[in-house]
């Protein structure tokens, strides 16, 4: 595939090094990334990268920044115009996270390797992470305000639970755990979507009917159950 051929031609050395590091992570995992090897792959001296990345950790942090930007795009893109209720939007956010992890496994692994990146040294990385968290919490607050979720629960804890579920499902898929849990090859998307939708359904199972705010329309009914919808699609 020509991965060892120099790809840097007096352009953006910083970006070229980030792309080389990402390709190394795809091939070898995050632990296999080194500044020296990234430099070799873009065709510069081993000393050249240090103006941009004085350490391996700074290079990995830059890759994590790009990964988090991609995650923000994916989760927002996952929300469709037909996701009219907050719980449907919450399901879509989780689905976007799962798709991001499945389609960009190197990004997922680098962002997950917190010991190899420096969040405090990267305002952009921290902002991206907090943005996804804020969007999740905002969606849950809307669900509570419109009677779709029990307002007695702390929305920050519900957001943490939702993220833990999505992260755990994504990790199980990438680490090869799903076959031991009854998920057949080729059926990963449907089963993970169903598991996520089940969690969201449980979050909304103790909501108080009739407390929707004016203008927000009716709360989700049994016909809008995302779990039933996913399983119906899977068997159609």
> Taking 80 as the threshold, does the pLDDT of residue 71 lie above it?
yes
* Arithmetic mean of pLDDT, 56-83: 95
Contact yes or no for 110/182 (Cβ under 8 A): no
Each residue's pLDDT tens digit, 160-171: 999 999 999 999
Each residue's pLDDT tens digit, 12-30: 999 999 999 999 999 999 9
Structure tokens at 161: 């639970």
77 versus 227: the higher-pLDDT residue is: 77
Contact yes or no for 195/227 (Cβ under 8 A): no
- Residue 205 is predicted with a pLDDT of 81
Q: In the chain, what is the straight-line distance between the N-terminal and C-terminal CA atoms, in Å?
A: 40
- 217 falls in which pLDDT band (50, 70, 90)? very low
Q: How would DSSP label each residue in 167-194?
A: HHHHHHHHTT-GGGGT--TT-HHHHHHH
* Max intra-chain CA distance, the chain: 67
Each residue's pLDDT tens digit, 100-123: 999 999 999 999 999 999 999 999
- Residue 226 is predicted with a pLDDT of 46
- 7 falls in which pLDDT band (50, 70, 90)? low
| Spatial separation of the C-alpha atoms in residues 139 and 110, rounded to whole Å | 27
| Spatial separation of the C-alpha atoms in residues 207 and 33, rounded to whole Å | 48
> Taking 80 as the threshold, does the pLDDT of residue 98 lie above it?
yes
> Taking 80 as the threshold, does the pLDDT of residue 206 lie above it?
no
186 versus 8: the higher-pLDDT residue is: 186
- Residue 212 is predicted with a pLDDT of 41
Q: pTM score, two decimals?
A: 0.81
Cα 221-139-131 angle, rounded to 5 deg: 155
- Residue 218 is predicted with a pLDDT of 40
Structure tokens at 95: 């689905």
């Amino acid at each position: 595939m020509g991965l060892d051929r120099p790809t840097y031609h007096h352009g953006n050395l910083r970006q070229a090094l980030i792309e080389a590091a990402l390709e190394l992570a795809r091939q070898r995992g995050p632990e296999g990334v080194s500044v020296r090897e990234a430099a070799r792959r873009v065709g510069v001296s081993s000393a050249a990268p240090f103006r941009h990345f004085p350490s391996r950790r700074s290079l990995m942090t830059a890759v994590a920044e790009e990964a988090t930007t991609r995650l923000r795009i994916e989760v927002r893109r996952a929300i469709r115009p037909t996701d009219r209720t907050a719980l449907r939007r919450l399901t879509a956010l989780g689905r976007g996270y799962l798709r991001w992890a499945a389609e960009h496994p190197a990004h997922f692994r680098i962002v997950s390797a917190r010991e190899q990146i420096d969040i405090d040294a990267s305002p952009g990385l921290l902002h991206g992470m907090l943005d996804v968290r804020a969007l999740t919490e905002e969606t849950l607050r809307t669900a509570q305000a419109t009677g779709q979720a029990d307002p007695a629960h702390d929305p920050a804890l519900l957001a943490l639970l939702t993220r833990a579920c999505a992260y755990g499902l994504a990790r199980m898929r990438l680490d090869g755990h799903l076959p031991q849990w009854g998920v057949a090859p080729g059926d990963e998307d449907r089963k993970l979507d169903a598991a996520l939708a089940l969690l969201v359904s449980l979050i909304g199972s103790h909501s108080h009917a009739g407390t929707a705010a004016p203008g927000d329309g009716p709360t989700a009914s049994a016909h809008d159950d995302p779990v039933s919808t996913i399983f119906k699609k899977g068997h159609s």
